[in-house]
Chain A
Amino acid sequence: MVENRPFLTFLTHLVLIAGVVIVVFPVYLAFIASTHGPGQFVSGLVPLLPGPHLVENYSTIWNEGLSSSGAPPIWVMMMNSLLMAVAIAVGKIAISLLSAYAIVYFKFPFRLLAFWIIFITLMLPVEVRIIPTFAVVANLGMLNSYQGLILPLIASATATFLFRQFFLTIPDELMEAARVDGAGPMKFFRDILLPLSRTNIAALFVILFIFGWVQYMWPLLVTSDSRYYTIVMGIKRLAASADSEPLWHLVMAAVILAMLPPVLVVIFMQRLFVKGLVETEK
């Protein structure tokens, strides 16, 4: 701060507190709703202070789900989401590390072509190729399967570019020293490159875990069997039924559970999260 202006400092805090209220309030309201009984939502106004049914609501939704919605218990969907998010993050990181390694440390015919093919995926989000991608997955017999949920999402231009960028900053001499020390390509990759990429891998994992967790349209397309529902797509079914009967307390408990894992990841790994976010977009 260049000069000391008490009023400006006061204003600064006021702005930030207002910002935090805007950001937190919708979630606060959802949490409050999840602690009340069904009677509170028949008419009038939603409650603004916590009610007594917290444990009851959460254990109901966790173990049983909402029978009327056709969705399985929350824990099943949470496990599916966890599996999908982790598999997507690990898969993207693994194949991107390998392709970035090939592009940076080798010269070979069609290297530029390979780079452009990977680059093109940036311009083809699932939203612009819904039907044909669905058709491919259906033809491969991967509807209602974990492979179908995961595989089509693990190509990653951004992760490849991040690792490429990072590899280029590693001094050439390190690879030369390793060669003189008798390390072949895969040994160098495992002994030197992977350990050096640790922070980048962790940062990327945070971002990609969130990416995998919040997927909505893709699970909606490829899963019709409720055993494969993810929490994020399942919750929409819960919400749809909540509007007809007053089940807001249970729906909101599910909402809180659905956002908890990725939000906790962001809060507790904030440094990695920020690094991952800022660097993947560079």
Chain B
Amino acid sequence: MQTKRTIFPSKLLPYILLAPQLAVTLIFFIWPALQAVKSSFEREDPFGFRTTFIWFDNYRRIFADPNYLSSLGRTAIFAISVTLLSMAISLLLAVAVNRLLRSGKVYTTLLVWPYAVAPVVVGILWWFIFNPSIGLAPYILRGLGISWNHRIDGNQAMILIIIAAAWKQISYNFLFFVAGLQSVPQSLNEAAAIDGAGPFKRFWTIIFPLISPTTFFLLIININYAMFDTFGIVDATTSGGPAQATNILVYKVYTDGVLNLNIGSSAAQSVILMLIVIALTIVQFRFVERRVQY
């Protein structure tokens, strides 16, 4: 790994400099993660007096549990929907802003701030809009002949958290798409125009392929976001209901562990989530290396 051509000769100092970061990491990250792995192979009796080592029983139990399997499926639907919805809207907005010169800055300012809104606040905002008794959305939907009540209808609940989660992520995706679009050399666009390609054709044949690294990067980041950063949204809107319809993995691991105190099962679920993050991170970093060529 890279260092400077000359380095300071101190022997002890680098360890002192690293100590705070490593202490926090080891105490609050590595050790608990190892504990999670350990507990995932154990069962605790109901009173917490005894733990027994049970190999993969917790995992076996999880994958035999229809609730967990349904949660897995629900999470996939949720993550994919949030990613696609949010990225599509963001790309459209980014392309539009990229066509403008001065006014683009104003639009950018108006579009980026939701990044700073906490997920749980996002949840409350949308919960308010879709509130079955006083919300604006159900009122309009009633006019269209659709009866909205996400407290009863699982699919409607899923739609609600997808909208809320996608809304928050628009600003993030937007900024990265704008950065990606700006790195496409204007000369390519001009060359294509001289070659007789219209604006839409130019976008799909020249620009979109050139920003594919950004798109792929955002794909990973958004899946990661939808799976892990949306706890607050779910907690504020549906609390995983109705009937587990919106009980995505990260919410389930919390309710099983913290509320229902099912330590072994929760630990096993944690380990599975860990493997998912590790896989996503590896994909992301292998891809970052390839991105250099652009």
Chain A in direct contact with chain B (Cβ < 8 angstroms): yes
Check A46 against B135 for contact (C-beta < 8 Å): yes
Is the pair B111, A130 in contact by a Cβ cutoff of 8 Å? no
A117 contact set on B, CB distance < 8 A: 22, 25-26, 30
Q: Mark B1-31, 1 if CB is under 8 A from A, else 0.
A: 1111111101101110110111011111111
Residues of A within 8 A of B242 (CB): none
Evaluate contact between B15 and A108: CB separation under 8 angstroms: yes
For B279, the closest partner residue in chain A by CB is A123
Taking residues whose C-beta sits less than 8 angstroms from the other chain, chain B's interface range is: 35 or more
Beta-carbon contact of B33 and A124 below 8 Å: yes
Alpha-carbon distance between A65 and B182 when the two chains are bound, in angstroms? 46
* Main secondary structure on B side of the interface with A: helix
Q: Verify A118–B21 contact, CB threshold 8 A.
A: yes
Q: Which residue of B lies closest to A134 (CB)?
A: B258
- Bitwise, A219-256 to B at CB < 8 A (1) or not (0) is 00100000000001101100100000000100110010
Of B31, B99, B116, B171, the residue contacting A23 (CB under 8 A) is: B171
A110-B82 Cα distance, complex, nearest whole Å: 41
Contact A265 B116 (CB under 8 A): yes
- In contact, A114 and B18 (Cβ under 8 angstroms): yes
Q: Considering only CB atoms, which chain A residue lies closest to B112 in the complex?
A: A266
Known: A23-B170, A239-B236, A266-B115. A96 touches B28 (CB 8 A): no
Interface pick from B53-61, B64-72, B123-131, B153-161: B123-131
Known: A23-B171, A114-B18, A248-B134. A127 touches B121 (CB 8 A): no
Number of cross-chain contacts by CB at 8 Å: 308
Point out the residues of chain A lying under 8 angstroms from B167, CB to CB: 22-23, 26
A-side interface mostly: helix
What number of A residues sit within 8 Å (CB to CB) of B?
107
- Bound together, the chains give a CA A27 to CA B118 distance in angstroms of 13
A residues less than 8 Å from B133 (CB atoms): 43
**A96 and B18 alpha carbons, distance in the complex (Å):** 9
**A125 contacts the other chain (CB 8 A):** yes
Complex-state Cα separation, A94 to B17, whole angstroms: 10
Contact (Cβ within 8 A) A132 B125: no
Q: Is B149 an interface residue (CB 8 A)?
A: no
Q: Considering the chains assembled together, what is the distance between the CA atoms of A151 and B27 in angstroms?
A: 10
Docked CA distance A20–B111 (Å): 6
A: which residues have CB within 8 A of B?
Answer: 1-3, 5, 8-9, 12-13, 15-16, 19-20, 22-24, 26-27, 29-30, 33, 41, 43-46, 48, 94-96, 98-99, 101-108, 111-112, 114-115, 117-118, 120-125, 127-137, 151-152, 154-156, 160, 168, 172, 175-176, 179, 184-186, 188, 210, 213-217, 221, 232-233, 235-236, 239, 248, 251-252, 255, 258-259, 262-263, 265-267, 270, 273-274, 277-278, 281-282
> Can you give 24 A-B contacts (C-beta < 8 A)?
A8-B99, A8-B199, A13-B100, A23-B167, A29-B128, A95-B24, A96-B21, A101-B17, A123-B274, A127-B231, A127-B254, A129-B35, A131-B258, A131-B266, A131-B267, A133-B32, A214-B116, A216-B120, A235-B120, A259-B116, A266-B113, A270-B108, A281-B221, A282-B288
Please give 17 more A-B residue pairs, beta carbons under 8 A apart, in addition to A22-B170, A217-B254, A281-B221: A9-B99, A16-B93, A23-B170, A29-B136, A43-B134, A45-B136, A105-B3, A106-B10, A120-B25, A124-B30, A127-B273, A129-B32, A129-B270, A175-B4, A185-B8, A214-B116, A216-B120
